[in-house]
Structure 1
Amino acid sequence: MKFGIAKEQITPQNPVYMHGFGSRTHKSEGVLEPLYMTATLMQADRSLLIVTIDALGSDRSFVVGIKDALKSAYGLAHEEVLINFSHTHHSVFLTGLDPSLRRGGYSIGQSGWAYDESELDYAEDEAYYVLLRDTLLRMVGSCYENLTEGELQMARGSSDFACSRRRPDGTGGVRWMPYYEGEIDKDLFILKLAGQAGEIRGIVYCYGCHTTAMGSDNYKFGNDFAGSVSARLEDRYPGAVAIFLQGCGGELKPRPGAVEDEFVSCDEESLHQVSNVLAQDIIALMEQGSFKTVQCQFRAELCDPLLYTEQLPASFYKTIAEDPQQDDFHRSAALRTVKAIENGTIKDRVPFYISLWQLDKDTSLIAMEGEVTTGYALKIKRLFGNGSMIVLGYTNGVFSYVPTRQIIGEGGYEAECNYYFGLHGPFIPEIEDIIIGQVAEGIGRMSK
């Protein structure tokens, strides 16, 4: 096989309103560490492209625009491109040029949370999109021009770096607290790209955990623990590009940041200490793990089913919008939802990308849109996995949380924050059946 890797900084040059924490009240205040975009092109019987972006996520306007541009420039089909977001809460949420595919409710140019969509001007967002699009096209061109003969190798390990934030309250519900005993997907995968002489050119590490070691009091750009981990790996393996792929970490936070019954936000110094825990697990796997060579017989599919929501009345959200105890973020989101219900633009279903890649007959990758919770990774691997299946979230867009049937039944943040995202109500429990069914059908088609 052949591969090419490119990496460039994408840190906004001017202060913008970061996304990820609703309690933020003003624009960014400098740079803790640069934000990056990477492109990894793998070419065998067909080409596959992995793009990673240090951002909270994006809507369809961004993803479709980027994929259309890649198809026009290089002939890459939509299913041959994965765009994975680190989900750092110290960056921005991305949109593109097509307003019909825009999630709305946020702009990098805002000075506070908008109570009406008409208050938002997306000129800065669109300019940033064009910058990222053109930068990525140049990067992918460089990948094609500098394709290197080599090998793709994979190793599977385990890490206790993540911890559930959904502790059962004893009455069928949950509290936002560290749940150390909670079952999570602990898989740590490394895809290693090596040249013909064995030199390491790329280290793609895959793990699911919210990039929220730091808290809402940080107004500096950065990629949270993933940025520190990647920097550590690149220092240890000179000449290699370290690339983080975000897994199904919807309800997971860094365990080293948990102290008894609460999560404690890191400052700049403690961030590196927390990040070092995951870095050490990756280094141990790099140096002691059992790597197998992937035979690189590529297949790719892209499914796009609809996920449906309940339909709560406008009065439910009016109560939130009129509650003086709520902050601007929650009140503005509730008010936008009320207006959308009243004018008929509210969403009670959303499309949901599921990418399925077969890297060889034994090695596969399932990547889903949104803040996918860890239960999906566990279930997909139990039903279809063979120890060589990577399951990702935060891929090809991040519209909303994607809770399991169990989480929907328990309630709590991941199940009930639908109005942040312009949805009519919580997802119906049957979305789990839709997702698992689509994965099963896709795997079946690829195995023929």
Structure 2
Amino acid sequence: MILSPLLATLPLTLTLTSAIPEDAPEIPVGVARVDITPEGPVRLTGYGNRSTESEGVDQRLWAKALAIGGDDGDGPAVLITVDNLGIPDAMTTEVARRLADRSGLARDRLAISASHTHTAPALTNVAPFLFPEFPNRTEQDHIDRYTEALTDHLTAVALDALADRRPGRLDWGVGSADFAANRRVLREGTWVGFGVNPDGPTDHSLPVLRVTDPDGSTRALLTSYACHCTTLTGEFNQICGDWAGDAQEAIERDLPGAIALIAIGCGADANPEPRGERSQARAHGEAIARGVAAVLNAPMTPLGGVSHAQLSRVNLPFAPLPSREDWQARAGQTNQEGLHARTMLARLDQGESLPEALEGYPVQVWAFGDDLAMVFLAGEVVVDYALHLRRVADPERLWINAYSNDAPCYIASDRLLDEGGYEVDGSMIFYGQPTRFAPGVEGIVIDAASNLLPAAFRTAVK
């Protein structure tokens, strides 16, 4: 378990005094943002109990982009953060294709990370069985239109960031926040429900990447935290970024003129605590801002550009598939499980075969020289993956983002497969997967990430 005390005694706004290291190299850096708030009502993702379209806007949603490096060598790298539950591989692939055509950006030098807010619009083919019934034709049309518009917005914000590049400096450090709590309640080693498990593993690290102008003013700041964006529950039916949206606003308030980008770590089995009230999301956002301010007031490590970028795809095998009889036994239910079973039976009746593996799961690694390796894992990745990666690579120079590049399902660890429960079984229905993963998936993902890391990071393990 990685536990760090929240700097609760710090004031909400700090005077940021950390000097820019004199040896920080100047490199081209660009930053941009675009408002992605829907223009009208749309079904919200994240919770299956909502039965109507959204009821107004509590907070604007954003996509933000950071472009690092010039056009020489391997070219720039672009990281996009977006206020949504998750971005599907089809959207990432399409944005990458457009950027390659318009700017020459290489696919492995584009990463898209979602905030995983549960109060953003549903997207086409992301958690398609979230609701007991498919959205009606009008609702699906709104979802499809928003999905198309978001693809356009992500392309545009990346191009804007590339066009915004000018000399800047990068540095990074790690702080902490402590509102994430392991949510898997166990009895005799078996999952029995959601709650707070004080003995469960949680990652409270808060890595921070700062972009400054040559005069020392902050232009952009990226941070990530391993926690679900679920302060707000399914009874809340307005557009909102949850704690990640509030953190962006708080950081930008404390750093006037800067753009704050928020990603999420391996927090698929962690919820914010306390939760359920709008004021609690704001408090969690302020906690992130305090943690960031503490990092900026301490010595930070200067960085160069992205010197290494690779992306690979691996297949993650499923456990043995349910039989036709299993599907038939479930098909009569009027909930998501019944809808899922009826859909699987229809596919079998049409002569289709159900997948025996999640194919093409993307794993991506960027390295900033020998100073920092940034890992991007797709889907809802549980904390064990971060703990495992820190055992096979130098934890002092490792930054792990989940919810990146695709939104296929929860990525359960070997430990969770033994314990069972929502992240292992029930959630796979919402995402449209045929069944749980087979044992050993954790090793496949960790090996893929480790193989992409430059040797300097893999050999520096203590």
Tell me whether the two structures share a fold, i.e. TM-score over 0.5.
Answer: yes
Q: Structure 2 residue aligned with 1:127, among 136, 141, 145?
A: 145
Q: Deviations over 1:342-390 (max 9, x none)?
A: 4434332122100110112121001111101111011101211241210
Structure 1 pair 354–171 and aligned structure 2 pair: CA distance change class (3 A): closer
Displacement of 1:149 after TM fit? 0.8
Whichever residue aligns with residue 279 of structure 2, its letter is E
Q: Confirm whether residue 164 of structure 1 aligns to residue 195 of structure 2.
A: no
Tell me what 2:340 maps to. Answer: 333
Structure 1 pair 445–127 and aligned structure 2 pair: CA distance change class (3 A): farther
> Residue 177 of structure 2 contacts residue 287 of structure 2 at CA under 8 Å; is this kept in 1?
no
> Residue 174 of structure 1 contacts residue 410 of structure 1 at CA under 8 Å; is this kept in 2?
no
134-143 or 199-208, which deviates more: 134-143
> Residue 245 of structure 1 contacts residue 392 of structure 1 at CA under 8 Å; is this kept in 2?
yes
Structure 1 pair 447–374 and aligned structure 2 pair: CA distance change class (3 A): closer
Tell me what 1:26 maps to. Answer: 52
> Residue 170 of structure 2 contacts residue 211 of structure 2 at CA under 8 Å; is this kept in 1?
yes
Whichever residue aligns with residue 277 of structure 1, its letter is A
> Residue 129 of structure 2 contacts residue 339 of structure 2 at CA under 8 Å; is this kept in 1?
no
Tell me what 1:249 maps to. Answer: 267
Tell me what 2:22 maps to. Answer: none
Displacement of 1:446 after TM fit? 8.4
The equivalences for 1:366-405 within 5 A come to 366-405=375-414
Q: Deviations over 1:5-43 (max 9, x none)?
A: 101110111111111101111110010100100011011
Displacement of 1:411 after TM fit? 0.2
Tell me what 1:349 maps to. Answer: 357
Q: Confirm whether residue 136 of structure 1 aligns to residue 154 of structure 2.
A: yes
The equivalences for 1:28-67 within 5 A come to 28-44=54-70, 45=73, 46-67=75-96
Where 1:352 maps in the other structure, the secondary structure is: strand
Displacement of 1:186 after TM fit? 1.9
Where 1:206 maps in the other structure, the secondary structure is: strand
Where 1:427 maps in the other structure, the secondary structure is: coil
Tell me what 2:128 maps to. Answer: 105
Displacement of 1:160 after TM fit? 1.6
Q: Confirm whether residue 407 of structure 1 aligns to residue 406 of structure 2.
A: no
Structure 1 pair 77–202 and aligned structure 2 pair: CA distance change class (3 A): same
Q: Deviations over 1:215-265 (max 9, x none)?
A: 0011100110111111111111101111101111111111333xxxxxxx1
Q: Tell me how far apart the structure 1 counterparts of residues 199 and 234 of structure 2 sit (CA, whole Å).
A: 27
Structure 1 pair 445–271 and aligned structure 2 pair: CA distance change class (3 A): closer
Where 1:64 maps in the other structure, the secondary structure is: helix
Displacement of 1:152 after TM fit? 0.7
Q: Confirm whether residue 217 of structure 1 aligns to residue 235 of structure 2.
A: yes
Tell me what 2:299 maps to. Answer: 290
Q: Tell me how far apart the structure 2 counterparts of residues 286 and 331 of structure 1 sit (CA, whole Å).
A: 51
The equivalences for 1:358-369 within 5 A come to 358-369=367-378
Q: Confirm whether residue 89 of structure 1 aligns to residue 108 of structure 2.
A: no
Tell me what 2:38 maps to. Answer: 12
The runs of 5 or more residues in structure 1 that have no matched partner are: 96-101, 258-264
Where 2:219 maps in the other structure, the secondary structure is: strand
> Residue 219 of structure 2 contacts residue 258 of structure 2 at CA under 8 Å; is this kept in 1?
yes
Displacement of 1:53 after TM fit? 1.0
179-188 or 400-409, which deviates more: 179-188
Structure 1 pair 297–68 and aligned structure 2 pair: CA distance change class (3 A): closer
Identity %: 23
Displacement of 1:271 after TM fit? 2.7
Q: Confirm whether residue 315 of structure 1 aligns to residue 325 of structure 2.
A: yes
Structure 1 pair 431–195 and aligned structure 2 pair: CA distance change class (3 A): same
> Residue 129 of structure 2 contacts residue 432 of structure 2 at CA under 8 Å; is this kept in 1?
no
> Residue 127 of structure 2 contacts residue 430 of structure 2 at CA under 8 Å; is this kept in 1?
no
Q: Confirm whether residue 206 of structure 1 aligns to residue 221 of structure 2.
A: no
> Residue 358 of structure 1 contacts residue 446 of structure 1 at CA under 8 Å; is this kept in 2?
no
Tell me what 1:177 maps to. Answer: 195
Displacement of 1:157 after TM fit? 1.7
**TM-score of the superposed pair, with normalisation by structure 2:** 0.86
**TM-score of the superposed pair, with normalisation by structure 1:** 0.88
Q: Tell me how far apart the structure 2 counterparts of residues 349 and 120 of structure 1 sit (CA, whole Å).
A: 33
> Residue 346 of structure 1 contacts residue 423 of structure 1 at CA under 8 Å; is this kept in 2?
no
> Residue 39 of structure 1 contacts residue 50 of structure 1 at CA under 8 Å; is this kept in 2?
yes
Structure 1 pair 279–181 and aligned structure 2 pair: CA distance change class (3 A): farther
Q: Tell me how far apart the structure 1 counterparts of residues 143 and 42 of structure 2 sit (CA, whole Å).
A: 10
Q: Tell me how far apart the structure 1 counterparts of residues 422 and 64 of structure 2 sit (CA, whole Å).
A: 31
Structure 1 pair 411–69 and aligned structure 2 pair: CA distance change class (3 A): same
Where 2:196 maps in the other structure, the secondary structure is: strand
Where 1:136 maps in the other structure, the secondary structure is: helix
Q: Structure 2 residue aligned with 1:273, among 278, 283, 302?
A: 283
Q: Tell me how far apart the structure 2 counterparts of residues 120 and 377 of structure 1 sit (CA, whole Å).
A: 41
Q: Deviations over 1:163-206 (max 9, x none)?
A: 11112212544432201221222211000001100100111011
Tell me what 2:310 maps to. Answer: 301
> Residue 108 of structure 2 contacts residue 309 of structure 2 at CA under 8 Å; is this kept in 1?
yes
> Residue 77 of structure 2 contacts residue 306 of structure 2 at CA under 8 Å; is this kept in 1?
no
Cα RMSD for the two superposed structures: 2.4
Whichever residue aligns with residue 46 of structure 2, its letter is G
Where 2:188 maps in the other structure, the secondary structure is: coil
Where 1:41 maps in the other structure, the secondary structure is: strand
